Amino acid sequence: MSIHPLASVSPEAELGIGVTVAAFASIEAGVTIGDYCSVASGAVIKSGVRMGCHNEICEHAVIGGQPQHVARPETVGQVLIGDHNVFREGVTVHRALKPDGQTIVGDHNYLMAAAHLGHDVQVGNHCILANSALAGGHVQIEDRAFVSGAVAIHQFCRIGRFSMIGGHARVVQDVPPYMLIDGQTGSVVGLNSVGLRRAGFATDEITALKAAYRVIYRRGLPWTEVLETLRVEFPSGLAAHLYAFLEGGRRGFVQERRGPPSAAATLRLRVADDESKRNLRAKAG
């Protein structure tokens, strides 16, 4: 264990073996930090935080802050963090709102600079939140989701596994698993095919997902028929998780972006002929 003399570490904090704490870092009472974690200069780990092993807390990150809620009770919940996570500069993670609640971060997640997890957020494993990504209270992010920079996720929304959300998107409904979200419109623009291939999924699994995608967004079925078709036609594999996710939705789901219905909707600029060009030059002097 290595604690810089200018660090502030409460004697009531529990630190594992191999923990390093840099100058001007602060670790409050009631904190539990597992083996081989590092806490950089200016980072603050507040009461109510329990974390596992091999976590990296970078400069000026604040883990375990009070919930940002106007009706915050006197006693609030905890922050539970797994193993092998990285919290880059200025990341903030808030405690759960109620005393028996938990804000949860799983294993092998990477939160880039200034990312924020609100109270009662649940993050799975191997997720990435890029710079300034914001997750409001009670947001759920499933395994291996990728949230790009400056994305704002409304409270209580769910982000499905292996989904990818483009930069600056505004997410106000659930993002189904495996989907690619356009940052400009916040709409679904297809499957996250690149992410699925990189994860090593077989071609037949991805083909089944494409078929399930067409059921959801292309057939024009009533919602009850969409769910029943998914349940019957895709009882196993990756596509089976789509049914489980969609069946449990309460906020609605991000819809597909559609292009213009025909080329006739495209505006075309008129190109001036030679006579018009001569007249323009004459008027210009």
Q: Which of 54, 120, 174, 186 is catalytic?
A: 120
Phi, psi of 200 (to 5 degrees): 90, 15
Residue-wise burial string across 189-222, b where 16 or more C-beta atoms lie within 10 A, e elsewhere: bebbeebbeeeebeeeebebbeebbebbbeeeee
Q: Which of 137, 160, 166, 186 is catalytic?
A: 137
167 carries an active-site annotation: no
119 carries an active-site annotation: yes
- Distance (Å, whole) CA 190 – CA 195: 12
Q: Which of 94, 119, 126, 241 is catalytic?
A: 119
Phi, psi of 95 (to 5 degrees): -70, 160
Q: For residue 133, which of 183, 185, 196, 68 has the smallest C-alpha distance?
A: 183
- The label of the residue with tokens 């998780």 reads 241
Q: Which positions are catalytic? A: 119-120, 137
